[in-house]
Structure 1
Amino acid sequence: MYKVHCLNNISAKGLELLDENYQLTDNVEEADVILVRSANMHEMDIPANLKAVARAGAGVNNIPLEKLAESGVAVFNTPGANANAVKELVLAGMLMASRDIIGGVQWCRDNAADENIGKAAEKAKKQFAGTEITGKTLGVIGLGAIGKLVARAAEALGMKVVGYDPYSSAEKAAEISPNLVYVENLADLYPQADFVTIHVPATPATKGMVSAEALAQMKDDVVLLNFARDTLVDDAALTAAMEAGRVRAYVTDFANPAVMQMPRAIVIPHLGASTEEAEDNCAIMAVQEVMAYLADGTKTHCVNM
C-alpha cells in the first residue's frame, strides 16, 4: 500500500484514479508519494519512505531535484497538460494590450452613476481606441507545448508568426505550421515582432534573457508578454525601456514590486493554468506518471533521473 500526501489541493479527477494500492494520508512524514502544485519543497525534510514526487504542472523550480535524486526519489512533471489554458490567456493578453479594454471597463465603472452614461461613453471611447492584431507579427520564443499552440492560434487570427527555439529546427517548426518563419537566433526575431511572447523554462541560462541588449533590438512600441517565469525578464532594463516609451505594454502573469511600478504594465495574478480543465488535466497526468513508475519503473516525464 502506497501512501499519498498532497501538499496542495489536487483535482479529484486525478485522485479518483488511485486504485486499491494507494491511500491518501494527511501525514507527510509517512508519504511514499507527494503530489504538489506550488508548495515550496526546498526546505522540507524528505520523508523516509518517499519514492516519487509529481508536480501537477510543468515548472519544477519549487522542487529540490538534485536533493531528491540523491535520495533515489523520482520527480515527475506534466508538460502540456495546462498548455491550452496558458495559450488562451496569452491571446487575451495580446488583445488587452492592443485594445485598451481594461481602461474602458474602468471608465464605465467610474461613471456608473451617470444617468447619461450611454451618451458620455460615445464621447469618451476615442481615448480607448486601439489597434488590431490581424496582420501583425508575433515572435514566439520557445516552441514547446505552449509555444506551438500560441503560434497556431496566432496564425488562425491572421498574424504572421516568427519562432525561435534553440532545441528545434526549421524542419520541426514546419510541423507546427508550414507558414511559421523559423529563425536560428533571437537577433533575427526581435526586429520583426510587434509582439514578443516567451515560453521557455527558468534556468540559469535564461535568467534575465530579456535584457537591455535584447530590448534594444526590439521594435519601438513592442508588446512583451511573459507567461513563463518572472526571472526571464530584467525588470530594471524593462522599466527603463518603458519609461523611454519604447515598449507599448508588458503583459505578465507574475506580480512583483518592480512590475507594479512599471508604466503600461498589465499584471495578472498567475492565472495561466488556472482553469478547471487545466487543473484536472494536470492532476490526471501527475497521478498517471506516479502509478506507471511504481508499477513497472516507467519514467515518461521524469525530470531528475
Structure 2
Amino acid sequence: MFNILTLNEISNKGTDKLKNTDFVVTPDALAPEAIMVRSASMHNMELAPNLLAISRAGAGTNNIPIEKCTEQGIVVFNTPGANANAVKELTLAGLLLASREIIAGTTWTQTLAAEADIAAVVEKGKKAFIGPEISGKTLVVAGLGAIGVLVANAALSLGLKVIGYDPYLSVTSALLINNGVKIVENLDKAIGQADYLTLHVPYQASTKYMFNQAMFEKIKPGCRILNFSRGELVDNTALIAALDLGIVAKYVTDFPTAELLNLQNVICIPHLGASTPESEENCAEMAATELAAFLKYGVIKNSVNFPTCESPYINKPRITLIHKNIPKMVGQVTNILADENLNIDNMINKSRGEIAYTVVDLDSLNDAPKIISLLEQIPGMVKVRLI
C-alpha cells in the first residue's frame, strides 16, 4: 500500500487512476511514499526518508527542489506534452493580442456607456487602436518541444512565415514539424528577421535571462514577443529598456511581475497557459500513470532528474538501486548477488549525469532484508528498494 500526498487539487481523472488497493491518495497523508503537486512550492518542505517520488502535474518543475531530491534518491516526474494544446491555443491568442489593440480597444469601449451616440464615438475613436495583420509576417519559434512544434505548425496555417530554432531538436519533434517551417541553427540571425518571437524554451540555469540586453540589440526593431514558457527567460530590466526604445513593440507574457504591470506595451496574462479543464485532466492522468508505474514496478518515464528506464516487469523479485554514477557500482551489486547464490534473470543500468539507476530481476530471493542491507552498504549507494 502506497500513501500519496496531494499538495494541490488534482483532477479526478488522475486520482481515480490510483483508487485501488495499491494506493491511498489524500491531501492529509502524513508519511507519503509519493507526492502529486501542481504549483505549490516545495522548497521549504521537509522530504522524509521514505519519500520515493514526486509527480508534477505540469511541465515546469521550478517549484520542486530538484537537486535536493536527486541527492536523496527521490525521482521527480513531470508531464511533458499533456498541456501542450492548451498552451498552443493561448500562444495563438497572444499572437493576435500582440498585433491588434484588442485589450486597449475594449477597455476604452467600456468607458462609453454614458455617450448618447456610442456608434459615432466608436467610429471616430477606433483609429487609435489600429494594429497590423499577422498574415505574411515572420514568426520565430525559439524551442521546438511539444508546444513549440504545435505553435509553429498552427502559425503556418495562419499565413505566417515560420522559422524554428532548437539546438536539441528531438527526433519526435523533427518528425512532427511541418516541412514548411524553416529550421535554423543560429538564433541570433533568426531574431533579426522576426516580426514576432515566441519563447518555448525550458527554464534552467543556462537559459536564465536568455533574452537580455545583448539579445535585444539583435532583434528586429518593432518585434512583438510572446512568453508562455517561463518569466525568468527574459531579463525584465533589459526588456523595459527595449520597450522604451521601440525595439520591442509589444510583450505578451503569462508571468506577471510588479515591474511589468501597467506598462503600456505589455500584456500580462495571469498564468493561464495550462488553465483548461482538458489540460488539467491530461496532466493529472499522466502524473498518476507515471507514479503508479514507478511505485509498483520501478519504471521511470518522464523524470526530470533520473534516466528513463522502462524495463518490463516479469513478476519476479525486482530490486531497484539508485546510486552515484561512478565506476564499479554495478560490479559490486552483481558480486553481492553472486556471493548469495542469487541468479540474475534480467538487469538494466541507466545513468544521467552524476546519478544512475539499476534494475535487477532475480529468479528467486531468500533473506531479502540481508540482501537489501548488503546493497545499501555499498559506497555511493543512495537508495535500494525491493519490489
Distance across 2 between alignment mates of 1:26 and 1:151: 39
Shift of residue 118, structure 1, vs aligned partner: 1.7
Q: Which stretch has the larger CA shift, 149-158 or 25-34?
A: 25-34
Q: TM-score, normalised by structure 1?
A: 0.96
Distance across 2 between alignment mates of 1:96 and 1:27: 42
Distance across 2 between alignment mates of 1:114 and 1:169: 57
Shift of residue 169, structure 1, vs aligned partner: 7.8
Equivalent residue number for residue 272 of structure 2: 271
Distance across 1 between alignment mates of 2:15 and 2:49: 23
Structure 2: stretches of 5+ with no match in the other structure: 307-387
Distance across 2 between alignment mates of 1:10 and 1:172: 29
3-state DSSP class of the match of 1:4?
strand
Deviations, residues 250-295 of structure 1 (Å, cap 9, x unaligned): 0001111121254300111111111111000000000000001112
Decide which structure has greater strand share: 2
Q: Which aligned pairs between 1:53-72 and structure 2 lie closer than 5 A?
A: 53-72=54-73
Equivalent residue number for residue 87 of structure 2: 86
- What amino acid is aligned across from residue 38 of structure 2 in structure 1? R
1:227 and 2:203 are equivalent in the alignment: no
3-state DSSP class of the match of 2:206?
coil
Deviations, residues 21-66 of structure 1 (Å, cap 9, x unaligned): 1112333431111000111111100134211110000111111122
Equivalent residue number for residue 10 of structure 1: 10
User: Contact 1:25–1:31 (CA<8 Å) still a contact in 2?
Assistant: no
- The RMSD of aligned alpha carbons is 1.6
User: Contact 2:228–2:254 (CA<8 Å) still a contact in 1?
Assistant: yes
Deviations, residues 102-132 of structure 1 (Å, cap 9, x unaligned): 0111121111232311221111111112111
Distance change >3 Å, CA 233–CA 216, structure 1 → 2 = same
Equivalent residue number for residue 161 of structure 2: 160
Distance across 2 between alignment mates of 1:27 and 1:166: 43
Equivalent residue number for residue 26 of structure 2: 25
User: Contact 2:144–2:173 (CA<8 Å) still a contact in 1?
Assistant: no
Radius of gyration: which is bigger? 2
Deviations, residues 67-117 of structure 1 (Å, cap 9, x unaligned): 122222211100000011111111111101111000111121111232311
Shift of residue 170, structure 1, vs aligned partner: 10
Equivalent residue number for residue 206 of structure 2: 205
Q: TM-score, normalised by structure 2?
A: 0.76
3-state DSSP class of the match of 1:121?
helix
1:128 and 2:129 are equivalent in the alignment: yes
Distance across 2 between alignment mates of 1:229 and 1:264: 19
Equivalent residue number for residue 118 of structure 1: 119
User: Contact 2:290–2:301 (CA<8 Å) still a contact in 1?
Assistant: yes
Deviations, residues 184-243 of structure 1 (Å, cap 9, x unaligned): 011121111100011111111111111111111111110011111111111111111111
Q: Which stretch has the larger CA shift, 168-177 or 41-50?
A: 168-177
Higher relative contact order (CA 8 A, sep 6+): 1
- What amino acid is aligned across from residue 161 of structure 1 in structure 2? V
Equivalent residue number for residue 105 of structure 2: 104
Q: Which aligned pairs between 1:183-202 and structure 2 lie closer than 5 A?
A: 183-202=184-203
Equivalent residue number for residue 257 of structure 2: 256
Distance change >3 Å, CA 170–CA 189, structure 1 → 2 = farther
Distance across 2 between alignment mates of 1:29 and 1:224: 45
3-state DSSP class of the match of 2:76?
strand
Paired residues, what number? 305
- What amino acid is aligned across from residue 253 of structure 1 in structure 2? D
User: Contact 1:190–1:196 (CA<8 Å) still a contact in 2?
Assistant: yes
Shift of residue 303, structure 1, vs aligned partner: 1.4
User: Contact 2:77–2:304 (CA<8 Å) still a contact in 1?
Assistant: yes
Distance change >3 Å, CA 57–CA 170, structure 1 → 2 = closer
3-state DSSP class of the match of 1:75?
strand
Distance across 2 between alignment mates of 1:169 and 1:286: 22
- What amino acid is aligned across from residue 14 of structure 1 in structure 2? G
- What amino acid is aligned across from residue 115 of structure 1 in structure 2? A
Q: Which stretch has the larger CA shift, 269-278 or 175-184?
A: 175-184
- What amino acid is aligned across from residue 186 of structure 1 in structure 2? L
Distance across 2 between alignment mates of 1:53 and 1:193: 39
User: Contact 1:53–1:74 (CA<8 Å) still a contact in 2?
Assistant: yes
User: Contact 1:99–1:130 (CA<8 Å) still a contact in 2?
Assistant: yes
Distance across 2 between alignment mates of 1:108 and 1:36: 41
Report sequence identity in percent: 50
Distance across 2 between alignment mates of 1:245 and 1:33: 49
User: Contact 1:141–1:197 (CA<8 Å) still a contact in 2?
Assistant: yes
User: Contact 1:29–1:47 (CA<8 Å) still a contact in 2?
Assistant: no
3-state DSSP class of the match of 1:115?
coil
User: Contact 1:85–1:274 (CA<8 Å) still a contact in 2?
Assistant: yes
User: Contact 1:242–1:263 (CA<8 Å) still a contact in 2?
Assistant: no
